[in-house]
Chains A and B, each alone.
Chain A
């Protein structure tokens, strides 16, 4: 089995700022075609505010068994950004060394900011405001409650899987 040098959540990053829920979590899927070392996680943030903004970000790497997401690893960072700018942020302090095996993993991303939402990651940009819940197996969803830490496990049945904010996919690059 090959060893990847990088993997991305999207083929490219969309121009839009995602409407990420503050102090809560959203789960999205990443398909790893081969193994990769969990070393560095990069994202693109867009600041459309009139001044500097700061953000605390935590990403959890979750596996799915049945209807339970289980935390396997995590990474976090706090950073600031000037107005009207896109920047890459890089997180390298993983909670443990890990070789991610091929297949689908779930990224739970938690973000806490002080502004009203004009500062968020770039990502999937098409409006998917479907009126019904996503049918079939679980592909992602948003927590409906606030949290201040990555949960060690979470039931997918407790996640919102309806509407645009439930199925957001930020642009995430994992590099070995």
Chain B
């Protein structure tokens, strides 16, 4: 077969492939991780009510059933809530497509938390945006497995990739203008490990 195209799958898609093979029906992913192989840098404290959002490339279709995060709970009192939002981007507006949340009142130091979706959905392949927010009945916050704690001095250049809200929120907004998100510094690039399982 002649070489008709060359495809670089980039960050999050680790392979390098040669296009031009035969087509087949799109398979269904059993799960998707934003950091492949559960990679993460550390457990980082999450500020209450500070929503962060980051882009992911989902390579194949995926059922939106169970978003899962890894958390460290500071103490056994009170209750924390983890909220997840699935957003699409059109121009400079993020629109909420689906969401999930769960409240935590366990005493284990480090635990997996599975969130409950508001509606079933088959996520189509392509770019999506994962948003996460944490609420707490106490001043002590949850720590989440995160990607990085480095602190770049300038804003993330190019098209919107990731950022965080500067105003506190207690719910996933129906839409977010990317222009109101802070895209500078460690708070903007510090994203939690999220896995969605079918």
Which chain A residues have a beta carbon within 8 Å of chain B's beta carbons? 1-11, 14, 28-29, 31-36, 64, 101-104, 123-124, 126, 128-139, 167, 169
Contact = CB atoms under 8 A, between A and B. Distances in A.
Contact of A33 (B60, B66, B68, B197): B60
Given A5-B18, A36-B15, A126-B42, A132 B112 contact: yes
B128 interface: no
13 contacts: A6-B15, A7-B15, A34-B17, A64-B30, A104-B29, A124-B39, A126-B42, A131-B110, A132-B112, A134-B68, A135-B68, A137-B66, A167-B38
Main secondary structure of the interface of A (DSSP, over half): loop
Interface stretch (B5-13, B48-56, B163-171, B178-186): B5-13
A136 B197 contact: yes
Contact of A135 (B14, B19, B26, B66): B66
Of listed A9, A14, A139, A167, residue having the most chain B CB within 10 A: A139
B159 interface: no
B38 A126 contact: yes
Interface string B25-49: 0111111100011111110000000
B145 interface: yes
Contacts of B15: 4-8, 32-34, 36
Given A126-B39, A130-B111, A103 B68 contact: no
A135 B109 CA distance: 16
B5 to A, nearest CB: 8
Interface of B: 7, 9, 11-24, 26-32, 36-42, 59-60, 65-66, 68, 70, 106, 108-114, 145, 195, 197-198
Contacts of A5: 15-18
B21 A1 contact: yes
In the A-B complex, the 6 residue pairs with the smallest Cβ-Cβ separation, listed nearest first, are: A136-B197, A135-B114, A136-B66, A131-B108, A2-B17, A137-B197
A4 B109 CA distance: 41
B70 A103 contact: no
Given A11-B39, A33-B17, A136-B68, A129 B110 contact: yes
A8 B37 CA distance: 10
Contacts of A133: 112
Given A101-B24, A139-B31, A31 B66 contact: no
B23 to A, nearest CB: 5
Nearest to B68: A136
Contacts of A137: 30-31, 65-66, 197-198
A1 to B, nearest CB: 5
A8 B72 CA distance: 29
Nearest to A140: B38
Contacts of B66: 135-137
Contacts of B29: 31, 103-104
Given A5-B18, A7-B15, A136 B36 contact: no
B16 A9 contact: no
A11 B39 CA distance: 9
A9 B114 contact: no
A134 B193 CA distance: 14
Nearest to A135: B114
Of listed A2, A28, A102, A133, residue having the most chain B CB within 10 A: A2
A2 B31 CA distance: 21
B22 A33 contact: no
